[in-house]
Structure 1
């Protein structure tokens, strides 16, 4: 992976984490045990510390950056969807930020909460635990149901399993010219109920 020391500060990646080779880590970055960092993600720790705590994930093309002197953190089992931007904020334990959402400086997303896809969370925003946060600017829409929180946990567990799958078998290769006979699939199971519930959250 592209990894850069800045002014003597070197990124840290726990041996049990998986960071895709195209992700970029700069400066004061700490990736904890069992974390997943996806293709094209950027963790630019040149103004403040960036932390992914145990079991959290930062998916494809996410950007994580900090306000000078602050700590930007995704706490244990946090789940950051494709293309999200985290800037100087804290994402609480077991919380989720949806695809293409933006969470700004000083915002604190409480544990077990979900920030909906494409939401814009203003600087200094706070919410109660297990909240559904939506809109631009984002507001607390309602409490998150136990069913919705369980759906979030299932998704995070899939990414925790993906860490092992990638560490064990992901390798560079040349594409095939034709579909191979008896081609296996990489479906992780029955995802239909999860997809339906995710659509319901984003339409609430």
Structure 2
């Protein structure tokens, strides 16, 4: 099972998560977010490092030019799009990096299934989270994972939405043929951008 940790703000955190064998680290590149790392992470330092984990840039309704600039600055492996980006942007970016498209899970999974069909050919992964009041789309809230059982997803997907350390057992038991792994966000921190490495390690050990 893969694990993605989102909200990395320092080079040291990238090194530490790589040492913990985390599969993907999310770097928030949305300027009005408390987790914005674009002025904290040195691009040259990140680019020179040899990480096993994938570096994912978290963006919200960027232009193609803005996304490409971030990809170049950090040599991103993945871009996660958290806004209302259309499939054409995903398609353009997919020639450069892997693409995660995030979706909010509301009351109607039928509408969501129709939406997924538009992105099927242009994304590598999906991410599902609960609807939140965040205007930057950086994080969501918990939702009923059972809603995904009726969906035809047919794409590796991450579960997000305030996953808690005590949900390791539920993550292990969650059964869906396309489930790729959990996305760990603010509930694995002591403060915005300050990762609780001990808790992350314990969670990793419990689900693998």
TM-score by length of 1: 0.27
Higher normalized helix content (fraction of residues): 2
The one of the two structures with greater contact order (alpha-carbon pairs below 8 A, sep at least 6) is 2
TM-score by length of 2: 0.27
Q: Which has the larger radius of gyration?
A: 1
